[in-house]
Chain A
Amino acid sequence: MSLEPLNRYALGQKLTQLASADPLTFVQDGAGLDHSGARRVALTGAPGAGKSSLLAQLVGLRSQTGNRLGILAIDPSSPKNGGAILGDRIRMDDLEENDNIYIRSLGSRTAGDGLADNLYEMMNTMDEHHFDEVFVETVGVGQVGYGARELVDTVVLVVIPESGDMVQAMKSGISEMADIIVVNKADLPGARKMLNDINHIASVNPSCSDDNSWVTPVMLVSNKSPDYVAELSRNIDAHQAFIAGQQTGRARKVARARYRLQQVVDQQLAKLISQTSDEFFAAPLNRQVSTILAQLHDFQTIQTGDTS
């Protein structure tokens, strides 16, 4: 439990600033790598699968411990004009009065992986505000994105009966990418069949034969019954305990920092490559590469004003 009260104003302003910031202006150093941070859980799954409703129940339940809990709920930004309707929090009314719960809506902006621009820095900011747990609701995409996998500890995939996304699930190797699979809306027909189908698919996945690895639980959930959510909550605890035994907090943070570096460099390179003229491609490929890398270096020098 945290001692100093949550500064909701400072956090709200900081996240707004981060949403529009250029990552190259970030001056945060590696000091945070040694600090312990919030436990991180992502809920992902197709549009309308019930992620927000489930998160409201789950966070309501987990808030009974008095922990400080944060929700970062991402909805899609229009690729055409950048606008977004951020509506996830409508499902979370019941949590709004609780002083230990903070809900933040985010547009995905230019992120194409179901997450939001600068989510890495936003999550670190949540750590600075001493959250015990942070929950991320991803944009409704059919597959578990690599970004969510890297940035959080526990990925919960939400599927619904008869959604026809089983083939999608097979393609993406769901049980490799998700730590917990929930078949939501279990009050609807077809839920148990869906559960059985997923269990069959999961049983042919190689990770199940390996004794040291986490066996992805597949379970039913419904907002019509609180018992299901209690079981999901226990599964999340079990997974958190499992990873704590696998990897130190520092190792996880370094892996995330490595992922973030890759992402920012990729973005810069994409920007430079998109600015090339047609003539640029008359040069041999190795020349193209060295020219772009030289521009990346110059670009960085200009950005930071470093003239050394």
Chain B
Amino acid sequence: MNMNTSENVLKGTRILVGKPGLDGHDIGAKIIALALRNAGAEVIYTGLRRSPEQIARVAVDEGVNAIGLSILSGSHKELVPDVMERLRAAGLGGVAVFVGGTIPLEDQPYLKEVGVTDIFTADMPLADVVSSIARTLA
């Protein structure tokens, strides 16, 4: 997929980049946010240490088309299903959710099982992350 296609698909889409849990730094989330912005998306960035409840509320209020959760703390197996459940309850069950950060390979099937569309690890090229999201929203 070339950059142009990503750009066209993401133009005008609204993507929430959120950091649930107690992570202390967010450079990775910010870099993803910037890459999505450069591909034409409107990125709503929540800042650090948000609860699943807060992330779901922001997603509802902002009428987002997709959500990216960045988690480094190792609590993904608790945080992700919690966010998913709240999104469903709020009527956003159809919104694609992506997870990035330090997610061990063996946990990925579980996250997919609870409804995550795709999982990004730190070593993945940014262009691949953007095109995966673009493909999903196409």
Contacts and interface: CB of A to CB of B under 8 A. Distances in A.
Pair from one complex: yes
Interface of A: 8-9, 11-17, 19-20, 77-78, 81-87, 89-90, 93, 96-97, 102-105, 107, 109
Contacts of A90: 45-47
Contact of B63 (A15, A78, A93, A107): A15
B41 A83 contact: yes
A81 B91 contact: no
16 contacts: A11-B61, A81-B39, A82-B11, A83-B11, A83-B38, A83-B42, A85-B43, A86-B43, A86-B45, A87-B45, A90-B46, A90-B47, A96-B54, A96-B58, A103-B61, A107-B42
A109 B40 CA distance: 11
A248 B63 CA distance: 34
Interface in B1-46: 7, 10-12, 14, 33-34, 36-46
Contacts of A87: 45
A83 B61 contact: no
B128 interface: no
B112 interface: no
Contact of B36 (A16, A20, A83, A102): A83
Given A14-B63, A86-B43, 4 more contacts: A12-B60, A16-B63, A85-B33, A109-B12
Given A12-B60, A104-B61, A82 B44 contact: no
B43 A83 contact: yes
Contact of A16 (B14, B34, B39, B54): B14
Contact of A85 (B12, B34, B40, B62): B34
A13 B63 contact: yes
Contacts of A103: 61
A105 B38 CA distance: 18
B135 interface: no
A22 to B, nearest CB: 12
Contacts of A12: 60-63
Nearest to A103: B61
A83 B40 contact: yes
Contact of A93 (B12, B44, B47, B90): B47
Contacts of B77: none
B88 interface: no
Nearest to A12: B63
Contact of B37 (A13, A84, A109): A84
